[in-house]
Every structure is written in structure tokens, then in C-alpha cells.
Structure 1
Amino acid sequence: MIRRSKAALAAAVLALTLSHSAAALQAQESPWIHVEVIESGGKAEKVNVNVPLSLAQVALDALPEDITGKITAEFQEKGIKLADLRKLWAELKNSGDAEFVKVESEKESVRVTRTGQLIQVRVEDRKGDATEQVRVDIPVDVVDALLSGEGEELNLRAAIQQLSGRRGDIVNVTDSKSKVRVWIDARS
């Protein structure tokens, strides 16, 4: 009887340990999106926003439709139809690795490329001794998901879902007085 009790207790402890380990592993693997803004100079400030991507999905679901519709309205105000944007994207996507835009001057450099599964935007603006840099990496599958909406609607939910499989930097902006970084990882 004591042997059975000890065996049952050992099994219970093992089950608790394994379930705790599995829960901890699952929590570690949940994607989080991070936004860090660092301002220097007279009003030096640092802002960090860290939220699970699942929270971003819930927040998006909670937004009134008129707010999410404003994004589409901005395209329409500029005369851009999502159907045309989808066609343009299909051609860009099918072109494979390529340099789409390259602008070089004494004061600035702009490049838009596709490298592997990323659309990369690189901007360098040289002002005297200071250099401002913008680095944006947009996964191809995120753009696919975003443009998978019906009619004149973007599919923000699908784009967030695709971002959940991504790890690493998405946006980096650096100038003489500030730095902005947006990235996704599995930690809070």
C-alpha cells in the first residue's frame, strides 16, 4: 500500500513538473511585439511597449469598424484601389530577388529590394555630421496576408497572424536625437 502511495505521489509530482515545464515552454514561445522609442537631448525619454501579439489581435477585434475602415479610406483618398495594389504586389512578388528602387545622391541613399522572403526598405539621410537611417523589413507572407482581404478591405487580422511566426527586427529608425525599434520575439 505504501509503495502504491509513493508511486502515485511520484507520478503526481512528475505530472505536475512536466505540465509546469510544458506551460513555461509554451509561454516562452508566444510571440511578443516590442516598440522601443529613445529620445535624447533636452527632453530625454525612453518608452517601451511590450505586448503579446495575441493581445494585438484581441485589440484589433475590439476596434470599431469605422477606425479600421479609415485605413482603407486613406488609400481611396489618394486614388489607390486595393485591387490595383494587389496586382502590383503580385508582379513584385513574382519577380523574385531584385532591387526595385535605388536613389543615390550626396545627401541621401534610398533602396527598396526584395531579398529572400523580405521586402527591405533602407534610407540613409546624411545631414552634416549626422546620419539618419531607416531600416524596414517586411515579410512577403505578411504582405500576402494583409492584401488577402475582400474587396477594398485590408486583412489586418491575417497580417498579425503571419507576424506571429516572425522573430527579429521589423523597423529601425535612427537619427541624431531619437531611435525607434520594433521587433518580435518570444519574450516579454
Structure 2
Amino acid sequence: MHKWTAVAAMIILVAMPLAAAEDLWIHVRVNDGGESGQTVRVNLPLQLIEQILPLVNHEPLAGGKIHLGDIPELDKIDLQGILDAVAGAEDGEFVTIDSSQQKVRVAKEGDQVLVHVDEGDTTRVRLTLPMTVVSALASGSGEELDILAALRELGQFRGDLVTVEEDGSHVRIWIDGQAEAE
């Protein structure tokens, strides 16, 4: 009897993280502030995206990875090396642009990379990316970004990834355990 209790306990311990990942959803909500006032909501379970992503083969994306050699604009940039460097860097503010037209801040704080962009009084962009996701992106071989590995790491994150406000329009991308967007 104790043997079966131990087996059941092991199964539960192994299944718990899988169940948690299955319950996570990525949401995209776009509210058009223009005349149409249209709202678009996309709610996808992370598990579904993980299953579909390897099936998409359209350059530069194939097998869940982006092949950087297929993007001419990036052929002279070691993007993977840059991601590795950011992942290993100390906390700090990497880029600050402060002009009359825009304010940009790129920083690493704790286990997150933050990008803040403000243009005038009408545009505001906020990006929060966990460092584990940055490291997972760089885990591909040579000239590729491992999007599938990054997506799996996103399964450990809850909260806003991207928010954009521009001329009355709002975009929000976030991860939570709800099947429907709020």
C-alpha cells in the first residue's frame, strides 16, 4: 500500500508543473481609440502555441526557431551574443535617450529586462521580459533564436509583457491563468 502511495505522490509531483503550464494563457487586447472604437481580443493557451509553433515553417521561422541568417538586416549583428551578454550583465540602465520628442529607457532590473518608450504626450510603450526568456532565446545554436524555448520559459511568468498607448488606442499583451481576457 505504501508503495502505491509513493507512486501516486510521484505522479502528482510530476504532473503539477505540467498542469500549471496547461492552465496559462497569453492574451492580446487591442482597443482602437479611433472612430470605429473596435476591440480585438485574442486568448490562446500557451500549451496550444507550444504545439503549433514547431509546425510553422515560413522563413525565417522553422521548427520553433528563427534562423537569423535568413534575415539580411541581421547578418552583421551577433544577436545571440548580445542576448548572452545582456543575460550575464549586472543590473543597470543600459540605454537612456531623453530628447524633446522621446524618452527611451532600456534597463535590467533583477530578473527582468525593461524597455520604456515615451513619444510626446500620446505614445507610451512598456516591455517587460524575464531574463530566463532572454537566456532561452539565446539557447539556440549559432545563428538562431529559440522561440519555442523562450515560450516555455514564459510559462513561468505572470503579468504584463507589453503595453502600448498611442493616440487613444491601447494594446496589452499579458499572461495569466484565465481563459478569457478581463
TM-score interval, normalised by the smaller of the two chains? 0.7 to 0.9
Partner letter of residue 50 of structure 2?
Q
Kindly tell me the number of residue pairs found equivalent between the two proteins: 161
Match of 1:136 in 2: 127
CA distance in 1, matches of 2:95, 2:21: 39
Q: Tell me by how many angstroms 1:157 deviates.
A: 1.1
Q: In the alignment, does 2:167 pair up with 1:176?
A: yes
Measured in 1, the distance between the counterparts of 2:21 and 2:145 equals: 30
Structure of larger gyration radius? 1
1:108-127 aligned at under 5 Å gives the runs: 108-126=102-120
**Greater helix percent: which structure?**
1
Q: List gaps (5 residues or longer) in structure 2.
A: 1-15
Q: Distance in 2 between matches of 1:88 and 1:73?
A: 13
The runs of at least 4 aligned residues of structure 1 exceeding 6 Å deviation read none
Change (3 A) 1:170 1:62: same
Residues 67-78 of structure 1 aligned to structure 2 (within 5 Å): 68-69=61-62, 71-73=66-68, 76-78=71-73
Selected match of 1:40 from 27, 33, 50: 33
What pairs with 1:94-105 in structure 2 (closer than 5 Å)? 94-105=88-99
Question: Percent identity among equivalent residues?
Answer: 37
**Unpaired segments of 5 or more residues in structure 1?**
1-22
Distance in 1, Cα, partners of 2:26 & 2:38: 20
Taking only aligned residues, the RMSD between alpha carbons, in angstroms, comes to 2.5
Cα deviation digits, residues 66-102 of structure 1 (max 9, x gap)? 45149435764014367x2232223222221110000
TM-score by length of 2: 0.78
Give the 3 Å change call, closer, same or farther, for CA 65–125 of structure 1 in structure 2: closer
Please give the alpha-carbon distance, in whole angstroms, between the structure 2 residues aligned to 1:116 and 1:168: 16
| Aligned-partner residue type, residue 73 of structure 2 | K
Distance, in Å, in 2 between the alignment partners of 1:56 and 1:74 is 24
**Per-residue deviation at 1:170?**
0.2
